[in-house]
Amino acid sequence: MRDFLVSRRLFGLRRGLVVLTACLLSTSATGYSQLVVFGDSLSDSGQFPDPERLLLGELGSLRFTNREGPTYRAPSPYGEVSTQRLADALGLEPLLPSTSVIRDQLGLPDGTNYATGGYTTDDIVGSITEVEGSVVSRSGLTLRTRDGYLIENDRADPKALYYVNGGGNDFLDGLVTQPADAIESADTLAMGIDALAAAGAQTIMVSNLPDVGDSPAGLVSGQRDAFSALVDVYNQALGERLARYDGRIDIIRLDVAGLFDEVTASPDEFGLATDIPLSDVCFSDPVCDTSAYGLASGSPDPSRLLFHDTVHPTTAGQEILADYAYALIAAPQWLALGGELTASSLAAQQQAMASELRPGQQSDGVRLFVQGEQHWDDNRGYVDDPRLEATHRAAAVGAVVPVGRGWLGMAVAQREASLDAPMDTELDGQVFSLFTRQQVGRLGVQAIASRGSFDLDLQRRVVLGLASRTLEGATEGDGWAGDLRLDYRLTDSDSPWYNAPFIGYRHIEADVEGYREQGSAANALLVSGQSVTDRQAEIGFLVDRAPLGGLGFFAEVAGGRYLDETREGAEVRLAALPTNRWSGEDRKRENENYLRLDTGLRLRLGDFTVQAGGGVQGWGEAATHVQLSAGFNF
């Protein structure tokens, strides 16, 4: 079988395997400093020269996927592999090969992709830990060597994302023939992960091994069933080794085997051919180029096929894999929006109740009121994506009674909120509020406390090449909020005007229970419970005129600061491979400061009062709200 693979073209394109996927390529970049890759040909971004282009007098790099159209032949360059696409999606620099012969000859800088076609798990570990461990060779001829990553760098970059895949060549080279060999192979790959973790790596993405048997190479070898059984042993052993890092560092598991099954089960959704066995045919290798879409046909179309050659994916498969990987990286950030929506609902409640405590709104008797309001929230600044906007709606009833030198009130509100694509979240529930205002000479003291309980329905949309999946979850959330505000009245006590500078503080604690997503088996996540703390302080000035003569007015302007600058992502596990959790990079608020302006009118007709107002809050991107309340004084 090794002879068959070596004869596959001039460089013997072999190894690596398709893995497929899901996700959300449309989100903004995450906060990783760089992508560092270790693996085999599945991730190789151009270590070897392209011999066919060299024969035509052009320089180019070989990658283990199909060439670009329209001819799909030299001198057209090879398409990008999944790791290159992933780097682009993360907003990082282009993912360049670490030990490229061509780049070395041209005096160009090396990159951080150590993955090399033909690497076994031993070779992958060498590219991490050994002197001259990054070796680019073919048929016994060494083209270039370079020290392994940790030899050159000593310490791992804690802000980098590390990507490790491998093991396929151990099978294809005949190194794995029994369960003990599969366990040893998985343990070897895990040794590379051990070294990265010991050197300070904090986030490592690890792919399990797709079913080598369910590929054209498996078919040609005649060992399909044996390969498939041993792949299961390998993946089980790898998961057991990775479990030791649970809770210590972020290990992002990729279930490429499960993704492969999902793609082949519904090829039409991915734009792939439905009239051929995708695991038996390929695009360019004469051994398996037997379909109407292959390179030898009159109308080649690699986008309809899963395999480029006997083991490597076409660019269609590479895109699916990149989407899948990016979706799992981005998931903690999106899933954390459930906690943000809960906290922002409590913040909206506090703002609504504060309007019922305005000095000019009060009377000497009992006041019953009804209130309706709507907020358009800018997702509270932790996710930089213009598509995200939360809408809050509420209806409340309450009462305010004179107590001491001020008033005491209570209210209950039915609240709803929604957050649209790409993370669709619906929230509804009740919030109970108790609030008071007391006047001590010129000093005004105002306090609001609220407690709420909510039901949340969440939908996470995952794009997989041309296909998409919707992951659904349902859970509950609750929380409390407290406001304290002090003002100093500048006008006389008998004046209808209440003008005062003020300072205020708000504290919110919100919790969301854990849940399991339902939908795509390869993508579904176990989402842990979330806790959100949101604090802000502000200083401002208010102008309030009681409705003497029937018409009143209020306005206030404030500048504030959010006291919580960063937020952790939701902690998640892949449901299919639950050995490890990750939460991704912390999210930093885009703007720590904000400006707020609220204004409105009130109308009094006898014992009946109507107040209408609105406002904006933000810095750059602004959240807006409108509000209408009606009260009757006894």
Closest CA to 213 of 194, 201, 202, 226: 226
Q: For residue 537, what are the β-bridge partners?
A: 505, 561
The dihedral of CA 43, 46, 50, 53: what is its sign?
positive
Q: Select which of 312, 375, 392, 625 is catalytic.
A: 312
Say how far apart CA 179 and CA 191 lie, in whole Å. Answer: 19
309 is catalytic: yes
Residues 64 and 117: beta-carbon distance below 8 Å: yes
Residues 97 and 103: beta-carbon distance below 8 Å: yes
* Bridging pattern class, strands 621-633 and 572-574: unpaired
What 3-state class would DSSP assign to 336?
coil
Half-sphere exposure of 176 (CA within 13 A, CB side): 31
What 3-state class would DSSP assign to 501?
strand
Q: Select which of 309, 323, 378, 534 is catalytic.
A: 309
What 3-state class would DSSP assign to 295?
coil
Residues 341 and 316: beta-carbon distance below 8 Å: no
Say how far apart CA 435 and CA 342 lie, in whole Å. Answer: 20
Whole-Å CA distances, 67 to 7, 310, 443, 482:
19, 16, 75, 61
Axis-axis angle for helices 315-335, 337-355 (nearest 10): 40
What 3-state class would DSSP assign to 582?
strand
Say how far apart CA 392 and CA 350 lie, in whole Å. Answer: 13
CA angle 36, 117, 293 (to 5 degrees): 110
Q: How many CB atoms lie within 10 A of CB 277?
A: 11
Say how far apart CA 184 and CA 85 lie, in whole Å. Answer: 31
Residues 215 and 18: beta-carbon distance below 8 Å: yes
Q: Select which of 40, 41, 44, 82 is catalytic.
A: 41
Half-sphere exposure of 462 (CA within 13 A, CB side): 34
Closest CA to 145 of 158, 129, 127, 159: 127
312 is catalytic: yes
Q: Which residues contact 182 (CB under 8 A, 6 or more apart)?
A: 176, 230, 231, 233, 234, 237
What 3-state class would DSSP assign to 124?
helix
Specify the DSSP class assigned to residue 518: B
E strands, 166-243, in order: 203-207
C-alpha gyration radius of the chain: 31
Q: Print burial letters for 181-209: b (CB count within 10 Å at least 16), e (below 16).
A: bbbbbbbbbbbbbbbbbebebbbbbbbbb
Say how far apart CA 24 and CA 468 lie, in whole Å. Answer: 9
Specify the DSSP class assigned to residue 270: G
Q: Which two tokens stand for residue 541?
A: 């000035």
Half-sphere exposure of 383 (CA within 13 A, CB side): 29
Enzyme catalytic residues: 41, 309, 312
